[in-house]
Structure 1
């Protein structure tokens, strides 16, 4: 296991979040292929240096890849035409301008979306909540409530199955699929509200809402390596933008 991977995997979740955020902000203001491709190349270097298995990274990145291709296809077929027109059938128009814009869009979606997989791989939600509350000073009630809700998401599928079994046992789910799903969804909503109310009361009784003297079992703070990770994300974004400006491909979205 390389030292680079240790730094990324042990970095504070807030540092990973900020690194992905500054990179996205740097890339979101232009639609050009130079800055996006530059960011992708630099992100690939970071991926190889991180030690994350390539197969696992690709599997986790599959939804982003599919979304990028579908977005590019939409712009390719229905984008504003410019330059030479290659295909013009009904509402579909493929031109030089739509091809260039589609390529730039696909690259940009990948350049913005893939760092989330790189930085957020194997992130512990509890450590993220600790960082949001202690480092970014977000309201503890909101952060801990969101963490508790996230922890209970996995129970919803189990509750759905048990509700289905119970309704079948009572003979109320034998006919009408739409009516059955609607009734079961409402029952699940009622069950979730009741559980949330009980959990909120239990957390309040245990002092989770204490302010401003609450304590934390796991202190969270930013170290030098965390600041270096944020600076690395900022550097990737700035280098990509600088190269696009230097080559004349920078295309600010406000000017379109």
Structure 2
């Protein structure tokens, strides 16, 4: 179960890029795409991203498996917008509060493409991010507070243990014949047991980190240097270029729809 939390080793080029650059590229691309709700900009961005996915070094199975939540969420979001979105133009279907119109369908298409255009590159980029490398980058490149970075890293490292603990609790309860019936009651009791276990583990971890001077108010040193080089800037520039190209195409096509308008 913890495999879904592990970084994927694609090509050495994409894996060796600083996680801060991946974060910046995803932020720039997403920031450009949320400025407008139109299908042209989202479609252009998605096409350009698909061309770059080929260089991520991920196998087809890994790509589809890890991006499956995005592929499931996008149609559901579009369906909601189609039924309850802003009504305009010809109305095709109407029942109670649900109303499908020409405008809501166009908005649903734009939403579908936009979710894919923002979600897919974010997932692909962060598949090859190691949490420790990300923490090094946040602290050394972005100069975020060390206590915040190390605390977040420790919490992220414990997520995999929580999943294992949940499975162990489930097997232990079944072995004792507890909770064989009543799924809701079993889940609630198991969740409470996991909460207690998590609090105890978190307290022990906090004490151990404090004993090792992780919270000392001094300038920290880092075991590994986080370098932000030329290829990192290239990735950030690609994210901004894709977003800018999508905006220009939408403006030229006359479909630009600024969300503040």
**Paired positions, count:** 252
Q: TM-score normalized by structure 2? A: 0.88
Which residue pairs with 1:60 in the alignment? 66
**Secondary structure class of the residue paired with 2:54:** helix
Deviates more, 1:147-156 or 1:175-184: 175-184
User: Which structure's CA Rg is the greater one?
Assistant: 1
CA contact (8 A) 1:78 1:93 kept: yes
Q: Which moved more, 1:8-17 or 1:43-52?
A: 43-52
Deviations 1:106-154 (A, max 9, x none): 0011111111122112211111111111111111111111111111122
Shift of 1:165: 5.6
Q: How far did 1:219 drift?
A: 1.0
Identify the structure with the greater helix proportion. 1
Aligned with 2:158 (options 135, 152, 177): 152
Deviates more, 1:15-24 or 1:137-146: 137-146
The 2-side partners of 1:161 and 1:56 are apart by 24
C-alpha distance after superposition, 1:155-181 (max 9, x if no partner): 223333444565667776577654444
Structure 2: state its 5+ residue gaps.
1-9
Q: Which residue of the other structure, out of 225, 229, 232, is the alignment partner of 1:226?
A: 232
Contact persistence 1:57–1:117 (CA under 8 A): no
**Correspondent of 1:51 among 34, 53, 57:** 57
Other-structure match for 1:132: 138
The Cα RMSD (Å) is 2.2
Matched, 1:78 2:84: yes
| 1:152-231 equivalences in 2 (<5 Å) | 152-164=158-170, 173=179, 177-231=183-237
CA gap 1:86/1:164 in 2 versus in 1, 3 angstroms: closer
Residues 196 and 107 of structure 1: CA distance in aligned 2, closer, same or farther (over 3 Å) = same
Divergent runs of 4+, >6 A? 168-172
* Bigger mean CA deviation after superposition, 201-210 or 180-189: 180-189
Greater CA drift, 32-41 or 170-179: 170-179
**Cα distance in 2 between the residues matched to 1:87 and 1:173:** 46
